[in-house]
Amino acid sequence: MIDLRSDTVTRPTPGMLRAMMRARVGDDVFRDDPSVCALEERAAAFLGQPRALFLPSGTMANVTALKAWTQPGEAVIADRRSHTVRYEVGGGAVICGLMFDTVDMPDGLLTPEAVRGAARAPDVHQPVTRVVQIENTHNLAGGVCYPLARVRALRRLTRAMGLALHMDGARLANAAVAQGVSAQEYGRLCDSATLCLSKGLGCPVGTVLAGPADFIERARRIRKMLGGGMRQAGYLAAAGLYALRYHVERLAEDHAHARLLAEGLAGVPGIEADPAAVQTNLVFFRVAGGPARATELVTRLKSGGVLVSLLGPDLARAVTHLDVRRADIEKALRAVTRAMRQR
């Protein structure tokens, strides 16, 4: 089965499994797991921040960051289609007591002008705007990357306005590789940033959250409150250390496969795909014939050994990752062509 539903389906490579088996472990809640400590130190340097914290998931990392920066009743500015708004079960509202002032950006990327327009005026009747959250890469915008200059402009504005800038960097490594910059250059422009290890980097579990020392101490207490305090987590941290060493630069291969897939899809009658819009490892395409036809295509592809996600009535997504080779892309394209010819 060629699984293109998400890059979260990746499995540890043999080298990663060996690293996990050899890990030195302790009890992370007592802060004496050497592998977790090593990962947090490495991740902080990777993201250009003083400290980092290992958490079970990106969703927990984002809600932890928001809670560490805010008080209940305050407000966060984010794009309307961002992961925090769409896919985190309202955690910012339920757990943090926050309001989300969402902005509808056509390309998913916030601008300084949009932030100024969304920020609340000082008024006793209004919640206080406290955080600007950006997503890099932006999933529902097609895996697009924030240009470094845009983040720098947002950094200048948020500093001037006294706001925290948090980057949901679930696929930050993909953005860095695609833009030809380091993740550190992105991370040091933000007050806090996350990096998901279980997507393109191929780990079985985990996200790191990085930021200033006092922020990370607050985040550690919040992590414990949310049930995220892990014990012999070093086996998982060892996978993260391996990924940061061996799986970052290879993301360029996933991006090349995504472009190949988009180019092939664009040539299939009844499929609408734009190869020029593919910046990283996410490929979105529309299926002519409406929702029934799109559902039928996904079902037929599954029967043919290919899995993709249906994210809208006629909108599908395919995601390349380290378990997908060029031959898999070619096979998937043949399966799409056959399925679209069937009536």
* pLDDT for 277: 97
Final residue of a domain: which of 246, 261, 295? 246
CATH number at residue 300: 3.90.1150.10
Quick one: average pLDDT of 67-89? Answer: 98
Tens digit of each residue's pLDDT (9 = 90 or more) over 211-226: 999 999 999 999 999 9
- Whether 58 is covered by a domain: the verdict is yes
**Same-domain check for residues 38 and 130:** yes
Contact 51, 36 (CB under 8 A): no
CATH number at residue 225: 3.40.640.10
* pLDDT for 342: 85
Q: Smallest Cα–Cα separation from 163: which of 125, 90, 112?
A: 112
- In this model, does residue 114 exceed pLDDT 80? yes
Token pair 């309001």 in the structure block, residue:
99
**Same-domain check for residues 105 and 230:** yes
**Same-domain check for residues 78 and 58:** yes
Final residue of a domain: which of 246, 270, 303? 246
- Whether 214 is covered by a domain: the verdict is yes
- Whether 6 is covered by a domain: the verdict is no
| DSSP conformation letters of 174-195 | HHHHHHTS-HHHHHTTSSEEEE
- Whether 217 is covered by a domain: the verdict is yes
* pLDDT for 272: 97
- Whether 149 is covered by a domain: the verdict is yes
Roughly what angle, to the nearest 10 degrees, separates helices 34-46 and 234-246?
A: 30
- Whether 7 is covered by a domain: the verdict is no
Roughly what angle, to the nearest 10 degrees, separates helices 234-246 and 14-21?
A: 140
Amino acid at site 330: E
- Whether 67 is covered by a domain: the verdict is yes
- In this model, does residue 248 exceed pLDDT 70? yes
- Tell me how far apart the alpha carbons of residues 258 and 333 are, in angstroms, rounded to a whole number: 12
Tell me the pLDDT band of 200, cut-offs 50, 70 and 90: very high
**Same-domain check for residues 19 and 139:** yes
Final residue of a domain: which of 246, 280, 306? 246
- Tell me how far apart the alpha carbons of residues 232 and 83 are, in angstroms, rounded to a whole number: 29
- In this model, does residue 343 exceed pLDDT 80? no
Tens digit of each residue's pLDDT (9 = 90 or more) over 232-243: 999 999 999 999
Name the token pair of 161. Answer: 């306005």
Q: Rounded to two decimals, what is the model's pTM? A: 0.97
Token pair 């003083």 in the structure block, residue:
50
**What is the extent of the structural domain holding 266?**
250-341
State what percent of residues in the chain have pLDDT above 70. Answer: 100
- Tally of domains in the chain: 2
* pLDDT for 51: 98
- Tell me how far apart the alpha carbons of residues 301 and 140 are, in angstroms, rounded to a whole number: 22
Tell me the pLDDT band of 206, cut-offs 50, 70 and 90: very high
- Tell me how far apart the alpha carbons of residues 12 and 236 are, in angstroms, rounded to a whole number: 11
Quick one: average pLDDT of 87-91? Answer: 97
Cis check: omega of the bond before 137, within 30 degrees of 0:
yes
Quick one: average pLDDT of 243-252? Answer: 98
Tens digit of each residue's pLDDT (9 = 90 or more) over 40-65: 999 999 999 999 999 999 999 999 99
**Same-domain check for residues 117 and 263:** no
Neighbours of 289 (CB within 10 A): 13
| Chain mean pLDDT for the chain | 97
Tens digit of each residue's pLDDT (9 = 90 or more) over 137-194: 999 999 999 999 999 999 999 999 999 999 999 999 999 999 999 999 999 999 999 9
Tell me the pLDDT band of 79, cut-offs 50, 70 and 90: very high
- Whether 305 is covered by a domain: the verdict is yes
**Same-domain check for residues 238 and 255:** no
